Copies of this chain bind each other. A is one copy, B any other.
Amino acid sequence: MSAKLNSKYVSSFVTDEEILSYQEKITKAHNDLHSKTGAGNDFLGWIDLPVDYDKDEFQRIKKAADKIKSDSEVLVVIGIGGSYLGARAVIEFIGGQNYNDLREGTPAIYFAGNSISPSYLSDILSICKKKDFSINVISKSGTTTEPAIAFRVFRELLEEKYGKEEAAKRTYVTTDRARGTLKALSDKEGYETFVVPDDVGGRYSVLTAVGLLPIAAAGIDIDALMAGAAKARAELMDTDINKNDCYKYVAIRNALYNKGKSTEMYVSYEPSFTLMNEWLKQLYGESEGKDGKGLFPASAIFSTDLHSLGQYIQEGERILFETVVTFAEPKDEIYIKEDAENADSLNFLAGKPMTFVNEKAFQGTILAHNDGGVPNIVIENEKMDEDSLPISNASLSA
């Protein structure tokens, strides 16, 4: 954090009064959530995860990540849905989409068991045949088809390659604390196990071992991640819409939905946000798609998708609003240089950072989309790092 909501670009679509009319509902939802009294109250452990987690296991996670870094060029993370998207979203956001090519001292990470495509699986298998690798299989029950098939395949390769004993040391299992066939198998084979807590739903489990082990193996600072989430949690405790950007966001998107906007498009100007978008789709789609209702969650990365979806956003059916997540500081900056030829006529930008141009593109686009009848909610972040990752924000609003 601290992510800030900018509601300027919805102001001509939704009035302050309309936003505030959700106060009562929001106060009730807040109280239900925090007193754990509403429907689904068995699965509210995620609310307190940033401050209330198993510190011993947290240390074990860091130790396991260190061992993986020391003995593996590849970590295969086997999981689907909530046991897949969060970790991948964080790793790609912090490490970039080309993390596997840029890492230093950490393993390449491949995600398997999230489809039933043999073409996809055999590609990853080919890679592992030539490298030292470990696996982290993540499944509460151990019987979900996709990860179960992938686990069979990689377990066989591990045992073939390293023998049963060493293979067991390269197998990390994140599963139920006590029940389930995967837990039983792990105890029998001597796999190190981590816990999917009973009170945390799959899609909210990124701050448990489910997300933290792969994230830590990728060299990301999980202490900073937890601290950022704890800060966000503290900042988002107020029930007052005017003092809580998370609830203000909730009110605005509901107001837009009730005015006939059927589709929310998550937008970022950073390609590394692509998987965060996918994860947001899960967080919202699974939470809201019920009883024939709910905002349809879509996503785009600009400016690239302006050259594909831009036309539709500007001139297609007026069913869209956008939620744009911005970052003031890039991970790395590039300055545009003077060019003697100036064939592209861009010398007027010489000396300027690319971030300046990206920001101008954002400003121009948002005005054009607003003019075209598309409301834009903007969530402004400072840095692209562990601290500012808008995880808690997203979770709390879902």
A100 to B316, CA, bound (A): 37
Is A239 engaged at the interface, CB distance under 8 Å to the other chain? no
Q: Are B181 and A343 in contact (CB under 8 A)?
A: yes
Is A25 engaged at the interface, CB distance under 8 Å to the other chain? no
Residues of B near A142 (CB, < 8 A) are 343-344
Q: Are B308 and A278 in contact (CB under 8 A)?
A: yes
Q: Are B80 and A146 in contact (CB under 8 A)?
A: no
A336 to B181, CA, bound (A): 19
Is A124 engaged at the interface, CB distance under 8 Å to the other chain? yes
Contact with B along A255-287 (1 / 0, CB 8 A): 000000011000001111000001101100110
- Could you tell me the distance in whole angstroms from the C-beta of A168 to the nearest C-beta in chain B? 13
CB neighbors of B among A317-353 (8 A): 317-320, 330-334, 336-337, 339, 341, 343-346, 349, 353
Copy total for this chain: 2
Q: Are B152 and A346 in contact (CB under 8 A)?
A: yes
Q: Are A353 and B118 in contact (CB under 8 A)?
A: yes
Is A96 engaged at the interface, CB distance under 8 Å to the other chain? yes
Among candidates B272, B316, B331, residue contacting A292 with C-beta atoms closer than 8 Å = B316
Among candidates B114, B203, B263, B279, residue contacting A263 with C-beta atoms closer than 8 Å = B263
Q: Are B298 and A115 in contact (CB under 8 A)?
A: no
Q: Are B330 and A117 in contact (CB under 8 A)?
A: yes
Is A55 engaged at the interface, CB distance under 8 Å to the other chain? no
Q: Are A119 and B81 in contact (CB under 8 A)?
A: no
A378 to B119, CA, bound (A): 20
Q: Are A343 and B102 in contact (CB under 8 A)?
A: no
Q: Are B115 and A271 in contact (CB under 8 A)?
A: yes
Count of A residues near B, CB < 8 Å?
104
Residues of B near A309 (CB, < 8 A) are 281-282, 285, 289, 297
Q: Are B272 and A296 in contact (CB under 8 A)?
A: no
Residues of B near A244 (CB, < 8 A) are none
Is A8 engaged at the interface, CB distance under 8 Å to the other chain? no
A336 to B45, CA, bound (A): 37
Q: Are B143 and A124 in contact (CB under 8 A)?
A: no
Residues of B near A290 (CB, < 8 A) are 311, 315-316
A29 to B110, CA, bound (A): 46
Is A82 engaged at the interface, CB distance under 8 Å to the other chain? yes
Residues of B near A345 (CB, < 8 A) are 143, 181
Q: Are B343 and A84 in contact (CB under 8 A)?
A: no
The 3 closest A-B CB pairs, nearest first, are A81-B307, A289-B312, A282-B308
Which residues of A come within 8 Å of B, CB atoms? Answer: 80-82, 84-85, 96-98, 100-102, 108, 110, 114-127, 142-143, 145-146, 148-149, 151-153, 156, 181-182, 184-185, 188, 203, 262-263, 269-272, 278-279, 281-282, 285-286, 288-294, 296-298, 301-305, 307-309, 311-320, 330-334, 336-337, 339, 341, 343-346, 349, 353-355, 357-358, 361, 384
26 residue pairs from A and B, CB less than 8 Å apart: A81-B304, A98-B127, A115-B269, A115-B271, A117-B358, A119-B330, A120-B272, A121-B354, A142-B343, A143-B344, A148-B344, A149-B349, A152-B336, A152-B337, A182-B343, A184-B343, A263-B263, A263-B296, A282-B308, A286-B311, A289-B316, A289-B317, A292-B315, A296-B316, A297-B309, A297-B312
